[in-house]
A and B are shown apart, each in its own frame.
Chain A
Amino acid sequence: MKPTVGENIFQVFLVIIISLLCIVTIYPFIHIASVSLSSPSEAMRFGFHLYPKEIDLTAWKQVLSQKKIWIGFGNSAFRTVVGTGLTLFVMALCAYPLSRKYLPHRSFYTMIILFTMFFGGGIIPTYLLIKDLYLMNSLWVYIVPGLIPTFSMLVLRNFFMSIPVELEECSKIDGANDIRILFQIVLPLSKPVLATLALWTAVGHWNSWFDAVLYISDQDKQVLQFFLREIVITNADAETFGRSVVGNIKYEPGIKAATVIFAILPILIVYPFLQKYFVKGTMIGSLKG
């Protein structure tokens, strides 16, 4: 059927609206990126920055020559990679039994876990626990206390529940136990949802900073977002960063911009590779949950 004139107009209208939205979404990042590459006077100019006019790499040089930026990068990368890997593994161990209808007292165990979503003990007892477990000032404090994100675990459980039981029963007859079934049959079937949860967890790890504030005092164990906050939000670092180290504070807007871009680059690089998984996975996960 040939589209009518009205429909064509409507399509044009749609394209315009959605293009506008895309511009609004993407422009701020372009703006910040070009500010980070601009000379100080250009960086402070009122108006739009679509591309760097007077290219000046000083801000980037300063950011990249800062030791703590790389320390933060390393620690964030560590918690993201190791934390995500461990979380996926442990989450599967927890979600699979809870998804099997024949697990005795299943709802009881589920209740135990659900309850924790709503009640917590507060800052001080958690702090004491972390201290007693010798997690203070240790990189493991980024990973262990948040090892199982309960909501994600429930999404995974729901996905496992949707896998037809017949598949397992066949292998059970072949003598496989539950652990083998999980790793050889169920998990390979769950790739899209696992990819989604990996993405959620990884993004969460890369972006978090609050645990670092509370539990880490050594600068060499801090994460990138912590330094980013110092530089971008609280300006706590201006003294050492802009002024005394380089002797000039006028590069601050550029330095802030470069730091922001530095922090989001890794996500932007990984993003296209994971995209095809997470759209599919989120649909499956969220519709069930």
Chain B
Amino acid sequence: MKHSFKLALALLLALSIMIAGCSSNSNTPAANGNSKNNGNQSGNSTDAEEPIEIIISASTWEVPEEDNTYVQQYLEEKFNVKFVNLRATDENFKIKVSGGEIPDIFPHNISEGDMVNWARQGVIASISADEIKQYMPDYVADVESIDPNAWDIGLIDGKNFGIPRVWLNGSTGFIPTYNGEWLEAVGLSGAPATLEEFEQMLIKFRNEDPDGNNEQDTYGMTGRGKDARAQLFNTVYAAYGVNPYQFKAAEDGTITWGGITEEAKEATKLINKWYMEGLIDPEFMTDDNSLIGQKFNSKKVGFIETNMYHHLYGQQQAFEENGITPVYGKGLLGPAGKPLQMSNGALQVPLLLGAQVEKDEAKRIKILQILNELATNDEIYLTTVFGQEGVTYEMKDGVPTFLPPYDTDGDQRLAMGLGGFYNPFIERAVSTWKFHMPQDKLDFKQQLTDGAEVIADVLGPTVFDSKAKYFANLSALQDEYFTKAIISNNEVDKLLEEFKTQWLKAGGQDILDEATKVYQERQAARQ
């Protein structure tokens, strides 16, 4: 037995080394699938320039199943390129990258932490801002008109990574939305304007049977506790002038973190009080956006705070079908002294390009040129996002509307190649935003957002060393402590003090120091 075990081990080692040797050869960081397409190209006429091959993976959500869709063919012809479609999901994209499959154009929804890691590992291309400005002049003008600091986000170790992106809707706030029938049923004349009125509403929604079924089965509100924690009870925190998951400029010019401020503690105390009084749905900690929407629409809760105006615009029909008259409110007047709403901010993580693009100048320039057109050229934007006029969409008052079946069937749109897979700049450039803004939507936006003041993260998705290093763990720590505090038995003070100490110790202090430095440098540069 012993002898054969040794023998087995030796043989295994030998074999595994052999195999490892084989696979390491193919481990070189070049994307696969290139060889298949080379054949087609050799037949092209010699005077035409060889099409440049671009590996694209701009979306993990809207991925066409087939190659050579309408949009792909259109773009290939227009720009004399050849697309290789790298299909990935949110869950396996990072493994693909680790396995050496690196697209030329990355998915648009990369987190800032991954961006920094990949920048350091040499996975993504650094591109000079000047070059981007040179080849994407229209787009850069658009972006800078929204936020001149858009370049800050992609700046890692003094080099620029990726193409800056802004989200045009992102600067608007989250709209507190109430169930109009319920407000009426409990005798309130409109949306609460102050924190006190809001509290009264919560009490009545819970105790006065607003849905009239003679059972105490309704709650004033629930919260987004499962994911996107910045939105959790954001209306209440905003009334205190803070969001626990955002950086905030303190009065002395330094940067502090929302979660460790006195304001956040006071707001949490109030929420804790409401929780203890049974006014908040105890399921809030596992509710995500779809569950919250479900509860609002099926009249389990009478208040929802996870939508911005454009979400609400799209949900008007659903509200109507469910017999709900939404009443849109403004920020609540509270200790902050003025009504505030939380907002995501316009800045987003840049669109990243694979490292191989850095070395291939022709390809790089081509990609930048294409991206510029995708974002700002009317015809190209319409074709990649809405398809063929008269077939997939028609223009109504200057705004494209999908024709059936494309209006409801997402699969049909994907089969055409429409959407984010070939165009990572949908609703990301001022020039082409008009196609998403019919008059009634503009009116709706004005009605909901005019005069609203928002609080946003002063730094946006900026990345710096200590943030990249500690942030994920600190966020997890914060999720835990805030949940515990909200459902605790009057222990908010103790728990959040404990949290503050731990947060600072586990890297938070470094983050604050560095954030303050970055912030002050930017302030100085601005003046």
Interface status of A24 (Cβ within 8 A of chain B): no
Type the 1/0 row for B273-294, where 1 means its CB is closer than 8 Å to any CB of A: 0000000000000001111011
Given A217-B63, A240-B410, residue A248 in contact with residue B92 (CB < 8 A): no
Judge whether B26 and A247 touch: CB under 8 Å: no
Closest beta carbon of chain A to B87's beta carbon, Å: 4
Closest beta carbon of chain B to A117's beta carbon, Å: 14
Interface of A is mostly: helix
Judge whether B12 and A112 touch: CB under 8 Å: yes
Interface status of B34 (Cβ within 8 A of chain A): no
Picked from A132, A215, A240, A245, the residue with its CB within 8 Å of the CB of B92 is A215
Closest beta carbon of chain A to B91's beta carbon, Å: 5
A46 CA to B218 CA in the complex, in Å? 11
Closest beta carbon of chain A to B201's beta carbon, Å: 22
Using Cβ atoms and an 8 Å threshold, which residues of chain B touch A127? Answer: 95, 98-99
> Which among A80-88, A190-198, A249-257, A273-281 touches the partner chain?
A249-257
Using Cβ atoms and an 8 Å threshold, which residues of chain A touch B11? Answer: 112
Given A108-B8, A217-B89, residue A235 in contact with residue B290 (CB < 8 A): yes
Judge whether A115 and B91 touch: CB under 8 Å: no
Judge whether B4 and A107 touch: CB under 8 Å: yes
Judge whether B99 and A131 touch: CB under 8 Å: yes
Interface status of B297 (Cβ within 8 A of chain A): yes
A243 CA to B291 CA in the complex, in Å? 12
Closest beta carbon of chain B to A179's beta carbon, Å: 25
Type the 1/0 row for A99-111, where 1 means its CB is closer than 8 Å to any CB of B: 0000001011001
Judge whether B4 and A250 touch: CB under 8 Å: no
Judge whether A217 and B4 touch: CB under 8 Å: no
Interface status of A285 (Cβ within 8 A of chain B): no
Interface status of A129 (Cβ within 8 A of chain B): yes
Closest beta carbon of chain B to A61's beta carbon, Å: 15
A238 CA to B226 CA in the complex, in Å? 15
Judge whether B298 and A123 touch: CB under 8 Å: no
Closest beta carbon of chain A to B115's beta carbon, Å: 20
> Which among B315-323, B451-459, B476-484 touches the partner chain?
B315-323
Given A108-B7, A132-B26, A220-B65, residue A244 in contact with residue B92 (CB < 8 A): no
Closest chain A residue to B26 by CB distance?
A: A132
Interface status of A7 (Cβ within 8 A of chain B): no
Picked from A124, A214, A253, the residue with its CB within 8 Å of the CB of B294 is A253
Using Cβ atoms and an 8 Å threshold, which residues of chain B touch A124? Answer: 95, 98-99
Using Cβ atoms and an 8 Å threshold, which residues of chain B touch A213? Answer: 89, 91-92
A156 CA to B65 CA in the complex, in Å? 41
Picked from A44, A128, A252, the residue with its CB within 8 Å of the CB of B27 is A128
Interface status of B121 (Cβ within 8 A of chain A): no
Closest chain B residue to A129 by CB distance?
A: B23
Judge whether B294 and A128 touch: CB under 8 Å: no
Using Cβ atoms and an 8 Å threshold, which residues of chain A touch B91? Answer: 213-214
Interface status of A188 (Cβ within 8 A of chain B): no
Interface status of B138 (Cβ within 8 A of chain A): no
Interface CB pairs A-B, < 8 A, 28: A46-B215, A67-B411, A107-B1, A111-B8, A112-B8, A112-B12, A115-B8, A124-B99, A125-B23, A127-B98, A127-B99, A128-B26, A128-B27, A131-B32, A131-B101, A137-B87, A214-B91, A220-B65, A235-B291, A238-B290, A238-B293, A243-B315, A245-B410, A247-B318, A248-B318, A249-B293, A250-B298, A252-B294
Chain A residues within 8 Å of B, Cβ to Cβ: 40-41, 44, 46, 67, 105, 107-108, 111-112, 115, 123-125, 127-129, 131-132, 137, 213-215, 217-220, 235, 238-240, 242-245, 247-250, 252-253
10 closest Cβ contacts across the A-B interface?
A: A238-B290, A108-B4, A217-B87, A235-B290, A111-B8, A250-B298, A250-B297, A127-B99, A252-B294, A213-B91
